[in-house]
């Protein structure tokens, strides 16, 4: 089965950033073949032009500071959202993934509700949590009070690397590099904890 692994970048997080300021700023995707995890599929990447008044709002500063994406957007980078949606739809039509996933599907799905996506394959964060808990008892990341927490993508990637899997690195909080890392996590989980 061909699965699209998608990552999005935004101007903030629901519940932390005022809703009227949250915008999709970038999308990245790649493909994984569950029958041949070593296969490296084609990629998609696009920066989405964002209104200057949103970019200048103090409430989005912390989200934009995570990477160089804010600087690119402030310089006028990106394409109109409608064009990006059209290009992404064409990419999906060309490659025909049967499902899609993301490290945090619930988060990414909020920004892609109007996009023509195949059905969701599952959540890589949930699968990572279950695999780490089952295969490496006691290794789940912890909250300050000592209770287990959901692993962040970088923590799941580190666990996969410890188990001998090659994981894409670099470009954290940029959509395509994050999608490539998450695709490698997906490949490692197919090997470590097949479902």
pLDDT band with cut points at 50, 70 and 90 for residue 168: very high
In angstroms, the Cα distances linking 63 to 3, 75, 86, 193 are 28, 17, 26, 33
Phi/psi for 43 (5° steps) reads -120, 165
pLDDT band with cut points at 50, 70 and 90 for residue 105: very high
Phi/psi for 185 (5° steps) reads -60, -45
Please, is 80 exposed, middle or buried when counting C-beta atoms within 10 Å of its C-beta (0-12, 13-18, 19+)?
exposed
* Structure confidence by residue, pLDDT tens digits, 181-190: 999 999 999 9
Q: What gap in Å lies between CA 157 and CA 189, rounded to an integer?
A: 10
pLDDT at position 70: 87
CATH code of the domain made up of 2-192: 3.30.420.10
Q: What gap in Å lies between CA 48 and CA 56, rounded to an integer?
A: 16
pLDDT band with cut points at 50, 70 and 90 for residue 134: very high
Average pLDDT over residues 119-128: 94
The length of the chain, given as a count of residues:
195
The yes-or-no verdict on residue 195 having pLDDT over 80 is no
* Joined tokens for residue 123: 């959540």
pLDDT band with cut points at 50, 70 and 90 for residue 95: very high
What is the average pLDDT value for the chain, to the nearest integer? Answer: 93
Q: What is the DSSP letter of 114?
A: T
Q: Using CA atoms in the order 92, 93, 95, 96, what is the torsion angle rounded to 10 degrees?
A: 90
Name the packing angle between helices 124-135 and 175-192 (round to 10°): 40
pLDDT band with cut points at 50, 70 and 90 for residue 115: confident
**Tokens 């934009």 sit on residue:** 64
* Structure confidence by residue, pLDDT tens digits, 22-58: 999 999 999 999 999 889 899 999 999 999 999 999 9
Q: What gap in Å lies between CA 96 and CA 184, rounded to an integer?
A: 20
Q: What gap in Å lies between CA 39 and CA 110, rounded to an integer?
A: 29
């Amino acid at each position: 089965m061909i699965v699209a692994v998608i990552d999005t970048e935004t101007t903030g997080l629901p519940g932390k950033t005022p809703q009227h300021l949250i915008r999709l700023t970038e999308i990245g995707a790649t493909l994984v073949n569950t029958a041949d995890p070593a296969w490296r599929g084609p990629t998609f990447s696009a920066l989405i032009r964002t209104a200057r008044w949103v970019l200048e709002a103090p409430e989005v500063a912390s989200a934009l500071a995570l990477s160089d994406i804010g600087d690119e957007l402030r310089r006028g980078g990106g394409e109109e959202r409608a064009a990006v949606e059209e290009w992404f739809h064409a990419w999906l039509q060309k490659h025909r993934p049967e499902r899609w996933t993301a490290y945090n599907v619930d988060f990414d799905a909020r920004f892609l509700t109007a996009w023509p996506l195949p059905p969701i394959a599952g959540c890589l964060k949930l699968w990572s949590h279950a695999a780490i808990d089952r295969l490496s008892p006691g290794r789940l990341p912890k909250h300050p009070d000592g209770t287990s927490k959901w692993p962040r993508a970088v923590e799941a990637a580190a666990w996969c690397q410890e188990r001998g899997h090659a994981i894409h690195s670099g470009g954290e909080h940029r959509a395509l590099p994050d999608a490539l890392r998450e695709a490698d996590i997906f490949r490692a989980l197919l090997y470590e904890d097949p479902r």
